[in-house]
Amino acid sequence: MDKEQVLKEYFGHSLFRGGQAEIIDCILEGGDVLGVMPTGAGKSICYQIPAIMSRGITLVISPLICS
């Protein structure tokens, strides 16, 4: 199953938002990623889809920045 199929099947969307596909591709290729995106830009999809597509456990460290 590819990332577009996972997006449609699990989340009901047919298109990625800006930057999501590139972040997901980098993660799936084993790269390190720092994704800085505004609220509502779909950051969680960027780690949920690779987690669904990968074997084993996924650990996400997501710091909240408060002012």
SS3 9: helix
Rounded-to-integer distance, Cα 26 and Cα 24, Å: 5
Q: Give the list of residues 6+ apart from residue 2 with CB closer than 8 angstroms, or none.
A: none
- Residue pLDDT tens, the chain, 67 long: 899 999 999 999 999 999 999 999 999 999 998 888 888 889 899 999 999 999 989 888 777 777 6
CA pseudo-torsion sign 18, 24, 22, 12: negative
Residue 35: predicted pLDDT:
86
